[in-house]
Amino acid sequence: MKAIDKIPTSKIQRATKLVSTGAKVGVNYIKYYGDKITKSETEAKERLNENNASDIYDGLKQLKGSALKVAQMLSMEKSIMPQAYVEKFSLAQFSVPPLSPPLVIKTFKKYFGKNPNEIYDTFNATSVNAASIGQVHLAHKDGKKLAVKIQYPGVAESITSDLAMVKPIAMSMFNIKGKGSDKYFKEVENKLIEETDYILEVKQSKEVSAACGIIPNLKFPEYYESLSNERIITMDYMIGEHLSEFVAHNSDQNIANTLGQALWDFYMFQIHKLKKVHADPHPGNFLISEEGQLIALDFGCMKIIPQEFYTPYFELAEKGNMSNMDYFVNKLYELEILREDDTKEEVNFFTAMFYEMLSLFTQPFHAETFDFSDEKFFGKIAELGEKYSKNTELRKMNGNRGSKHFIYMNRTFFGLYNLMFDLKAKDIKINNFLTL
């Protein structure tokens, strides 16, 4: 993959890049209208989605930073996004063009005040992995093999302006009206700002790895504070395959079950014991070691779960509570899914919609063990997503639904479910974390 020699850092440069991307999308729509003459509507729309997804991703990967991070987040919305976007945007998880070696050295010196060879015994200026906010380099020091993560220049400074540019697209995609929408975008902005603070990431990484070290078959790298700062992190280099690469060839069900249990315990332990969770569960953040253990990486995106949200959120997951409709409706108000200014039509519609959704999504919590390889279960989730994405009645209503905390909690569970399905993990003990 061709390396990048320069990243647009100013607001004007980044806006210009997005405008040029928008122009390409405009051309794609012209082609779409032409295709409708000679092709079916389905074929024409499919080609439009493929062309738009490719051009939008190509533009975002040059910008990197929060614009690319939003694409990564959207790629996890498999039930909402057209498949072409899911496939293309998912590349943002672990396949992004890296900075060129000269730009890497320049960036490192800017952040650390020294060249990398003055700090490490050896340093490879060619990246071994590039993502949305930073890229990783291999180094050695005092006999240890290290991974050095360097943040892309200008990322932290451009978060607010980047989100302002992608906000209209996101509002249209998720049917969010202007009034009351700021809390959702502020939540995303605050989390992205936290992700660019590498001192905070090192602190969070050490806290989580210390607390979750008791979970069997789960490993973490060691982090080195003396070799890290606000824009650079030095940690142990962990050897293993990305989870997505591993599942492509694994045929050992026992290993799949062991890894699935470790992954599930890791998330349940964080959510219920720590009230703070790794809210970026995509395949690029997990490796499988040669010994068949799960390696968890990248703790820049951690979501604190306030008690006032945690309690009603998990009370709705209890099977008995779902059957008491008055109780159920009261919890929907507590979680801001239903609003005091809703019409009777809106109350009835969203009560029915969330009852249907939660009846399905909470099924793993209604049994002692669950089979996450069940294609029927995940097929129903996909069908439900498609059903509401095409619902014309829903499009007329205000999509500002739910507490701001839903953004990262839902992202966590959607990502976790998808990873569990990718692993084809069976017989997972749902409450095993209570025994740890």
- Which residue in the block uniquely carries the two structure tokens 């009370």? 315
pLDDT per residue as tens digits for the range 46-74:
787 777 767 766 666 666 656 666 665 65
Whether residue 232 contacts residue 198, with contact meaning beta carbons closer than 8 Å, is answered with yes
pLDDT of residue 39: 80
- pTM confidence score: 0.82
235: left (phi over 0), alpha (psi -120 to 50) or beta: beta
90 Cβ contact list (under 8 Å, min separation 6)? 72, 75, 282
pLDDT of residue 88: 58
Which amino acid is residue 4, in one-letter code?
I
Give the DSSP per-residue string, 396-416.
TS----S-TTHHHHHHHHHHH
* Cα 67-69-75 angle, rounded to 5 deg: 110
pLDDT of residue 303: 95
* Cα 177-182-185 angle, rounded to 5 deg: 105
178 vs 185: CA distance, rounded Å: 11
- Spans of the chain, pLDDT less than 50: none
Cβ neighbourhood burial of 375 (10 Å; 0-12, 13-18, 19+) = exposed
pLDDT of residue 248: 94
Task: Identify the helix (H) or strand (E) that includes residue 42.
Answer: helix 41-63
Whether residue 361 contacts residue 406, with contact meaning beta carbons closer than 8 Å, is answered with no
pLDDT of residue 158: 76
43 vs 28: CA distance, rounded Å: 14
| Closest to 8 (Cα-Cα) out of 69, 58, 71, 63 | 63
Q: Which structure tokens are listed for 190?
A: 């605050």
Pairing verdict, β 294-296 and 218-219: parallel
pLDDT of residue 75: 52
| Closest to 98 (Cα-Cα) out of 6, 233, 227, 196 | 6
CA distances from 260 to 234, 293, 411 (A): 28, 10, 18
CA distances from 108 to 121, 123, 135 (A): 15, 11, 12
Strand partners, 223: 235
